[in-house]
Chains A and B, each alone.
Chain A
Amino acid sequence: MDPFITCKELIEFLADYLDGELPAPERREFDRHLAVCPSCVNYLETYKGTIALGRAALCDPDEAPPKEVPEDLIKAILATRKRPAT
Protein backbone atom coordinates (compact mmCIF):
# COMPACT_ATOMS: atom_id res chain seq x y z
CA MET A 1 0.00 0.00 0.00
CA ASP A 2 1.21 3.50 -0.82
CA PRO A 3 2.27 4.99 2.50
CA PHE A 4 1.84 8.54 1.19
CA ILE A 5 -1.34 10.48 1.61
CA THR A 6 -2.87 11.70 -1.65
CA CYS A 7 -3.12 15.30 -2.88
CA LYS A 8 -6.86 15.09 -2.15
CA GLU A 9 -6.27 14.12 1.48
CA LEU A 10 -3.64 16.80 1.91
CA ILE A 11 -5.86 19.55 0.54
CA GLU A 12 -8.88 18.34 2.50
CA PHE A 13 -7.02 18.61 5.81
CA LEU A 14 -4.82 21.58 4.91
CA ALA A 15 -6.46 23.95 7.39
CA ASP A 16 -5.85 21.50 10.25
CA TYR A 17 -2.24 21.18 9.12
CA LEU A 18 -1.74 24.94 9.10
CA ASP A 19 -3.50 25.33 12.46
CA GLY A 20 -1.17 22.74 13.99
CA GLU A 21 -4.13 20.52 14.83
CA LEU A 22 -2.89 17.34 13.15
CA PRO A 23 -1.42 14.58 15.31
CA ALA A 24 2.33 14.11 14.83
CA PRO A 25 2.12 10.97 12.60
CA GLU A 26 -0.31 12.66 10.19
CA ARG A 27 1.79 15.81 10.18
CA ARG A 28 4.83 13.75 9.19
CA GLU A 29 2.80 12.24 6.33
CA PHE A 30 1.90 15.75 5.16
CA ASP A 31 5.54 16.82 5.28
CA ARG A 32 6.62 13.71 3.33
CA HIS A 33 4.02 14.42 0.67
CA LEU A 34 5.01 18.08 0.40
CA ALA A 35 8.66 17.10 0.00
CA VAL A 36 7.89 15.35 -3.30
CA CYS A 37 4.78 17.16 -4.65
CA PRO A 38 5.41 20.64 -6.11
CA SER A 39 1.72 21.01 -7.02
CA CYS A 40 0.66 20.65 -3.38
CA VAL A 41 3.45 22.99 -2.27
CA ASN A 42 2.02 25.54 -4.70
CA TYR A 43 -1.48 24.93 -3.33
CA LEU A 44 -0.24 25.33 0.24
CA GLU A 45 1.58 28.58 -0.56
CA THR A 46 -1.32 30.08 -2.50
CA TYR A 47 -3.78 28.99 0.22
CA LYS A 48 -1.64 30.79 2.79
CA GLY A 49 -1.46 33.75 0.41
CA THR A 50 -5.25 33.73 0.14
CA ILE A 51 -5.60 33.94 3.92
CA ALA A 52 -3.13 36.82 4.04
CA LEU A 53 -4.76 38.66 1.12
CA GLY A 54 -8.25 38.11 2.54
CA ARG A 55 -7.21 39.54 5.90
CA ALA A 56 -5.42 42.47 4.26
CA ALA A 57 -8.53 43.21 2.19
CA LEU A 58 -10.98 42.89 5.09
CA CYS A 59 -8.82 44.84 7.56
CA ASP A 60 -7.90 47.54 5.03
CA PRO A 61 -7.13 50.79 6.88
CA ASP A 62 -8.31 52.66 3.76
CA GLU A 63 -11.74 51.16 4.38
CA ALA A 64 -12.17 52.35 7.97
CA PRO A 65 -15.83 52.85 8.95
CA PRO A 66 -17.17 56.35 8.44
CA LYS A 67 -17.20 58.39 11.62
CA GLU A 68 -20.68 59.70 10.95
CA VAL A 69 -23.88 57.76 11.47
CA PRO A 70 -27.03 59.32 9.99
CA GLU A 71 -28.63 61.53 12.64
CA ASP A 72 -32.09 60.16 11.90
CA LEU A 73 -30.82 56.69 12.80
CA ILE A 74 -29.29 57.93 16.06
CA LYS A 75 -32.58 59.64 16.91
CA ALA A 76 -34.56 56.49 16.07
CA ILE A 77 -32.35 54.45 18.43
CA LEU A 78 -32.63 57.06 21.19
CA ALA A 79 -36.41 57.08 20.71
CA THR A 80 -36.61 53.33 21.42
CA ARG A 81 -35.40 54.12 24.94
CA LYS A 82 -38.24 56.56 25.51
CA ARG A 83 -41.01 54.20 24.43
CA PRO A 84 -42.88 52.50 27.24
CA ALA A 85 -42.08 48.82 27.59
CA THR A 86 -44.61 46.52 25.96
Chain B
Amino acid sequence: MAASAPPPTPIGPPPDETGRLVVALRRGDPAAFETVVRDHSPALLAAARRILRNEEDAREALQDAFVSAFKAIGSFEGGARLSTWLHRIAINAALMKLRARRRRPETSIEELLPRFQADGHQVVPNEPWAEPPNELASRKETRALVRRMIEELPDSYRTVLLLRDLEELSTEEVARMLEVTPNAVKIRLHRARQALRAKLDARYRMAAAT
Protein backbone atom coordinates (compact mmCIF):
# COMPACT_ATOMS: atom_id res chain seq x y z
CA MET B 1 0.00 0.00 0.00
CA ALA B 2 1.30 3.44 -0.83
CA ALA B 3 1.98 6.05 1.84
CA SER B 4 -0.25 9.07 2.11
CA ALA B 5 1.19 12.43 1.15
CA PRO B 6 1.70 15.07 3.82
CA PRO B 7 -0.75 17.96 3.99
CA PRO B 8 -0.29 20.66 1.32
CA THR B 9 2.59 22.97 1.99
CA PRO B 10 2.02 26.70 2.53
CA ILE B 11 0.95 28.64 -0.55
CA GLY B 12 3.73 30.31 -2.50
CA PRO B 13 5.62 29.91 -5.75
CA PRO B 14 8.26 27.17 -5.75
CA PRO B 15 11.86 28.32 -6.26
CA ASP B 16 12.74 28.59 -9.98
CA GLU B 17 14.58 25.33 -10.49
CA THR B 18 12.20 23.30 -8.34
CA GLY B 19 9.30 25.10 -10.00
CA ARG B 20 10.45 24.05 -13.48
CA LEU B 21 10.97 20.48 -12.28
CA VAL B 22 7.56 20.34 -10.62
CA VAL B 23 5.86 21.71 -13.75
CA ALA B 24 7.62 19.03 -15.80
CA LEU B 25 6.57 16.33 -13.34
CA ARG B 26 2.97 17.46 -13.51
CA ARG B 27 3.20 17.19 -17.31
CA GLY B 28 4.38 13.60 -16.87
CA ASP B 29 7.83 14.31 -18.27
CA PRO B 30 9.80 11.05 -17.86
CA ALA B 31 13.17 12.85 -17.81
CA ALA B 32 12.05 15.02 -14.90
CA PHE B 33 10.80 11.93 -13.10
CA GLU B 34 14.14 10.19 -13.58
CA THR B 35 16.04 13.27 -12.40
CA VAL B 36 14.03 13.40 -9.19
CA VAL B 37 14.33 9.66 -8.57
CA ARG B 38 18.10 9.65 -9.11
CA ASP B 39 18.76 12.86 -7.15
CA HIS B 40 16.64 12.08 -4.12
CA SER B 41 16.75 8.29 -3.76
CA PRO B 42 20.03 8.07 -1.75
CA ALA B 43 18.77 10.26 1.10
CA LEU B 44 15.26 8.80 1.01
CA LEU B 45 16.53 5.21 1.01
CA ALA B 46 18.83 6.04 3.94
CA ALA B 47 15.89 7.45 5.91
CA ALA B 48 13.79 4.34 5.18
CA ARG B 49 16.69 2.05 6.16
CA ARG B 50 17.11 3.85 9.49
CA ILE B 51 13.47 3.32 10.36
CA LEU B 52 13.02 -0.19 8.99
CA ARG B 53 16.48 -1.76 9.54
CA ASN B 54 15.66 -4.17 6.72
CA GLU B 55 16.93 -3.66 3.18
CA GLU B 56 14.00 -5.27 1.38
CA ASP B 57 11.43 -3.31 3.40
CA ALA B 58 13.39 -0.08 2.84
CA ARG B 59 13.45 -0.66 -0.92
CA GLU B 60 9.70 -1.29 -0.97
CA ALA B 61 9.09 1.81 1.15
CA LEU B 62 11.11 3.89 -1.32
CA GLN B 63 9.02 2.61 -4.23
CA ASP B 64 5.80 3.28 -2.30
CA ALA B 65 7.04 6.77 -1.50
CA PHE B 66 7.67 7.69 -5.14
CA VAL B 67 4.29 6.28 -6.18
CA SER B 68 2.62 8.44 -3.51
CA ALA B 69 4.69 11.50 -4.30
CA PHE B 70 3.91 11.52 -7.99
CA LYS B 71 0.24 10.91 -7.39
CA ALA B 72 0.25 13.93 -5.08
CA ILE B 73 2.59 16.19 -7.04
CA GLY B 74 -0.37 18.45 -7.80
CA SER B 75 -0.57 19.34 -4.11
CA PHE B 76 3.07 20.47 -3.97
CA GLU B 77 2.70 24.21 -3.97
CA GLY B 78 6.13 25.34 -2.90
CA GLY B 79 7.02 27.02 0.34
CA ALA B 80 8.68 23.77 1.35
CA ARG B 81 11.61 22.35 -0.56
CA LEU B 82 10.91 19.40 -2.83
CA SER B 83 13.51 17.37 -0.89
CA THR B 84 11.73 18.09 2.41
CA TRP B 85 8.36 17.15 0.94
CA LEU B 86 9.72 13.89 -0.49
CA HIS B 87 11.49 13.13 2.79
CA ARG B 88 8.22 13.37 4.73
CA ILE B 89 6.53 11.05 2.24
CA ALA B 90 9.37 8.51 2.46
CA ILE B 91 9.23 8.56 6.26
CA ASN B 92 5.47 8.03 6.10
CA ALA B 93 5.95 5.11 3.73
CA ALA B 94 8.55 3.55 6.04
CA LEU B 95 6.33 4.00 9.09
CA MET B 96 3.41 2.36 7.29
CA LYS B 97 5.60 -0.60 6.42
CA LEU B 98 6.85 -0.75 10.01
CA ARG B 99 3.26 -0.88 11.27
CA ALA B 100 2.38 -3.55 8.73
CA ARG B 101 5.25 -5.83 9.72
CA ARG B 102 4.86 -5.35 13.48
CA ARG B 103 3.19 -8.55 14.56
CA ARG B 104 4.96 -9.49 17.77
CA PRO B 105 4.52 -7.52 21.00
CA GLU B 106 7.46 -5.25 21.75
CA THR B 107 9.90 -5.98 24.54
CA SER B 108 9.39 -3.89 27.64
CA ILE B 109 11.78 -1.09 28.59
CA GLU B 110 10.54 -1.01 32.20
CA GLU B 111 13.80 -2.35 33.56
CA LEU B 112 15.64 0.59 31.95
CA LEU B 113 13.41 3.21 33.57
CA PRO B 114 14.26 4.75 36.96
CA ARG B 115 12.90 2.95 40.03
CA PHE B 116 11.67 4.78 43.08
CA GLN B 117 11.08 4.10 46.76
CA ALA B 118 7.72 4.82 48.38
CA ASP B 119 8.97 8.27 49.47
CA GLY B 120 9.83 9.25 45.87
CA HIS B 121 13.61 8.87 46.14
CA GLN B 122 15.35 6.79 43.52
CA VAL B 123 16.28 3.27 44.59
CA VAL B 124 19.83 3.77 43.28
CA PRO B 125 21.19 7.33 43.58
CA ASN B 126 22.65 8.78 40.39
CA GLU B 127 26.36 9.34 39.79
CA PRO B 128 28.01 11.62 37.26
CA TRP B 129 29.64 10.06 34.21
CA ALA B 130 33.38 9.58 34.14
CA GLU B 131 33.73 11.75 31.03
CA PRO B 132 31.74 14.75 29.76
CA PRO B 133 29.26 13.84 26.99
CA ASN B 134 30.95 16.12 24.45
CA GLU B 135 34.21 14.19 24.91
CA LEU B 136 32.37 10.89 24.59
CA ALA B 137 30.60 12.14 21.45
CA SER B 138 33.89 13.12 19.85
CA ARG B 139 34.91 9.47 19.55
CA LYS B 140 33.74 7.54 16.49
CA GLU B 141 33.54 4.24 18.37
CA THR B 142 31.35 5.81 21.06
CA ARG B 143 28.96 7.19 18.44
CA ALA B 144 28.76 3.72 16.87
CA LEU B 145 28.08 2.20 20.30
CA VAL B 146 25.29 4.71 20.95
CA ARG B 147 23.74 3.87 17.56
CA ARG B 148 23.76 0.18 18.51
CA MET B 149 22.09 1.04 21.82
CA ILE B 150 19.41 3.00 19.97
CA GLU B 151 18.95 0.06 17.58
CA GLU B 152 18.19 -2.14 20.59
CA LEU B 153 15.25 0.00 21.69
CA PRO B 154 11.75 -1.25 20.81
CA ASP B 155 10.47 0.22 17.52
CA SER B 156 7.87 2.50 19.10
CA TYR B 157 10.57 4.26 21.16
CA ARG B 158 13.35 4.08 18.58
CA THR B 159 11.21 5.67 15.85
CA VAL B 160 10.21 8.61 18.06
CA LEU B 161 13.88 9.20 18.89
CA LEU B 162 14.79 9.08 15.18
CA LEU B 163 11.95 11.34 14.08
CA ARG B 164 12.47 13.96 16.80
CA ASP B 165 16.24 13.99 17.22
CA LEU B 166 17.53 13.00 13.77
CA GLU B 167 14.79 14.07 11.36
CA GLU B 168 14.03 17.07 13.62
CA LEU B 169 10.28 16.80 13.11
CA SER B 170 8.02 18.61 15.55
CA THR B 171 6.09 16.77 18.24
CA GLU B 172 2.85 17.51 16.37
CA GLU B 173 4.21 16.23 13.06
CA VAL B 174 5.48 13.02 14.65
CA ALA B 175 2.10 12.57 16.33
CA ARG B 176 0.33 12.86 12.96
CA MET B 177 2.71 10.38 11.34
CA LEU B 178 2.42 7.84 14.14
CA GLU B 179 -1.32 8.43 14.58
CA VAL B 180 -0.96 9.12 18.31
CA THR B 181 -1.47 12.21 20.44
CA PRO B 182 1.30 14.81 20.86
CA ASN B 183 1.37 13.90 24.56
CA ALA B 184 2.01 10.25 23.70
CA VAL B 185 4.95 11.36 21.53
CA LYS B 186 6.39 13.39 24.41
CA ILE B 187 6.02 10.47 26.82
CA ARG B 188 7.62 8.02 24.38
CA LEU B 189 10.50 10.39 23.66
CA HIS B 190 11.12 10.89 27.39
CA ARG B 191 11.07 7.13 28.02
CA ALA B 192 13.29 6.44 25.01
CA ARG B 193 15.84 8.93 26.35
CA GLN B 194 15.55 7.47 29.85
CA ALA B 195 16.14 3.97 28.50
CA LEU B 196 19.10 5.11 26.44
CA ARG B 197 20.43 7.01 29.46
CA ALA B 198 20.25 3.83 31.54
CA LYS B 199 22.27 1.92 28.92
CA LEU B 200 24.86 4.71 28.76
CA ASP B 201 24.89 5.07 32.54
CA ALA B 202 25.77 1.39 33.01
CA ARG B 203 28.84 1.98 30.88
CA TYR B 204 29.94 5.50 31.71
CA ARG B 205 28.89 6.25 35.29
CA MET B 206 31.82 7.20 37.51
CA ALA B 207 31.51 4.10 39.70
CA ALA B 208 31.29 1.75 36.69
CA ALA B 209 34.28 3.32 34.99
CA THR B 210 36.65 3.00 37.94
Contact = CB atoms under 8 A, between A and B. Distances in A.
A58 B147 contact: yes
Interface in A31-86: 38-40, 42-43, 45-60, 62-63, 65-70, 73-74, 76-78, 80-82
B120 to A, nearest CB: 3
A62 B65 CA distance: 26
Given A7-B121, A42-B126, A57 B43 contact: no
B165 A43 contact: no
5 contacts: A52-B133, A53-B137, A60-B140, A63-B147, A69-B38
Contacts of B126: 39-40, 42-43, 46
Interface stretch (B9-17, B77-85, B100-108, B190-198): B190-198
Interface of B: 30, 33-34, 37-38, 41-43, 45-46, 59, 62-63, 66-67, 70, 114, 116, 119-122, 125-129, 132-134, 136-137, 140, 142-147, 150, 161-162, 165-166, 186, 189-190, 193-194, 196-197, 200-201, 205
Contacts of B147: 57-58, 60, 63
